[in-house]
Structure formats: structure tokens, C-alpha cells
Chains A and B, each alone.
Chain A
């Protein structure tokens, strides 16, 4: 593992420990009150969910067209993180919606397209695990569809009628709410980088193990 990994892990842990205090100091939203504070973990994890789908898609495209195993390992790691952060988004969102909208779930464009993106990432992992020989390229094709879904998820709230808050909410946040949000974004982004590096390291070790078994057979 690189030298920066451990210090940054410590920093990330401290930032996550401090985040509830910064979020608690942010002002309450006028109509939703306390439950709106779910936003400070929900939105950063949603951005990281979309970012990891993009990383997975780009790495898969490079693996498909250049055949680089390094990019394949990166895509595999990013797909697992897409599932992880997607699960956070799809659980924290309904917990917020239950109070704000009165329902756990709405089949509107934002929620449905997010669920689709999450299911594509699951499909990637399942194809990699159970697909047999050649499943890496099939899964890479799936990752391209997952990446194509990302802009659709992002702009959906601005183009279709939905009760989900629009993307224009973020630039209008007052200072204390904006500070809590951007601090959480920094926490989640740092966590994403660390987890991605750790997960790629696991794939590198697996590749090394495969190479050792091959050399033993020969």
C-alpha cells in the first residue's frame, strides 16, 4: 500500500467522527425540520454513487478497447463501491421521504433511474462472480450502460415532474448548511478514494495469487 494511505485513513476517520457535530450545528430547514439533516449524508453518498459508476464505466471502456488488466481491476473495485454507496442512497432516501413526503418510495424518474443504476452495478458483480470465462468483458459492457445512466439520473429532477428536490437546491444553501454539506462531501470523497485503493489492492493480491498458482502448475 502507498505511504499516504495510513495518514489519510486517520484523517478520514477524524473527519467522519467530527461530521455529526458540524451537521448538528447547521440550521434546521423550515418545512422539513430535523429529518432534513439526513441530506448531509444522503447527497454526498449519491454523488459518490454516480462518481463510482463513472469510474467503473471509464475503466471498463479502457479494458474493452485496450485490454489492460489494471483497468479491469479498477472497474471491479469501482463496481463494488457503486453497490455500497448506492445502498446508502437507497436506504437513507426513503427514511427521509417517509417524513418529508409521507411515503417510503415514489416511482418517479430520479428514484427509479437510481435504482436501475444500482441494479446494473449488482448485475456487473454477479456476472463477474458467476459468469464463467469471458465474464469480464460481458461485465465491462454492462458497466458502460451503468455509466450512460448517470447523466440521466442527475438531470432527471430538472426535466421531469418529480417531488424530489431539484439540483438547484445546492447553490442556494446558506453558509452554515453549505459548510456542513461540503464537509460531508469531502469526507465521502476521501473515503471513496481510500476504499477504491484498498479494493484495487485486494484485486492486485488476487492477481498475484493466480500468477503464483499458474507458476506452481508449470
Chain B
């Protein structure tokens, strides 16, 4: 009777050890898998979204903004150059007129 009891206890202990070994093995095998970063999976498309329903930023065409920026730069530079040239020619005309007046004054 005592032998049978000891046998049963040993069998249970072996079973517990086996379960522990399997548990540890599963944990060890799963750890590297769990440590891996999940790969980004492309999402399956389940609906079609019209472009008009996109956020305002995404549906805004870039070309008019780009053309506006470059056009603004060229127009502003041209306008400034014209303004400086006009101011300069006005001042130079006045300088020439005064100088000729003074020459005439000294000769007269």
C-alpha cells in the first residue's frame, strides 16, 4: 500500500515536471516571436473614397500654389527693378537740369 502511494506521488511529480518543461519551452520559443516588431500589413480596401471627400490638405492641387509662388517672385522683382529705374532716371534728369542751369548761370 505504501509502495503504491509512493509510486503515485512519483508519477504526479513527473507529470508536473513535464508540464513545467513544456511551459518553459513554449515561453522560450514564443519570446523571440513576441519580441519581433509586427510587420505593417497593407490594409485591405473595403470601400472606395471619392477624392472630394479627402481632407482639404490632401485634395489641394500643388501646381497652382507653385506657379503662384514663382509668379509672385518674378513680378515683385520686376516691379522693384522698374521702380528703382524710374526713381533713378527722375533724379538723374533733375541733376542734369540743375547742372545745366548752373552752367548757364555762371556763363550768363
User: Chain B at the A interface: mostly helix, strand, loop or mixed?
Assistant: helix
Residue of A nearest to B72 (CB): A91
- How many residues of chain A are within 8 Å of chain B by beta carbon? 34
In the complex, the answer to whether B76 meets A87 with C-beta atoms within 8 Å is yes
Complex alpha-carbon distance, A17 and B9, angstroms: 95
Q: Pick out which of these stretches binds chain A: B16-24, B39-47, B58-66.
A: B58-66
Residues of chain B contacted by A96 (CB below 8 angstroms): 65, 69
Q: Contacts A195-B84, A206-B91, A208-B95; is A99 near B69 (CB within 8 Å)?
A: no
In the complex, the answer to whether B62 meets A88 with C-beta atoms within 8 Å is no
User: In the complex, how many angstroms separate the beta carbon of B33 from the nearest chain A beta carbon?
Assistant: 32
Mark A residues whose CB is within 8 Å of B.
20, 33-35, 37-38, 41-42, 45, 84, 87-88, 91-92, 95-96, 98-99, 101-102, 191, 195, 198-199, 201-202, 205-206, 208-209, 212-213, 215-216
Residues of chain A contacted by B48 (CB below 8 angstroms): none
In the complex, the answer to whether A212 meets B95 with C-beta atoms within 8 Å is yes
B68 within 8 A of A: yes
Residues of chain A contacted by B84 (CB below 8 angstroms): 195, 198-199, 202
In the complex, the answer to whether A88 meets B72 with C-beta atoms within 8 Å is yes
In the complex, the answer to whether B69 meets A42 with C-beta atoms within 8 Å is yes
B98 within 8 A of A: yes
Give the interface size class of chain B. Answer: 20 to 34
Residue of B nearest to A101 (CB): B57
In the complex, the answer to whether B69 meets A98 with C-beta atoms within 8 Å is no
15 interchain pairs (CB within 8 A)? A34-B62, A35-B65, A38-B66, A38-B70, A84-B80, A92-B69, A95-B66, A95-B72, A99-B65, A195-B81, A199-B84, A202-B84, A202-B91, A212-B95, A216-B102
In the complex, the answer to whether B73 meets A34 with C-beta atoms within 8 Å is no
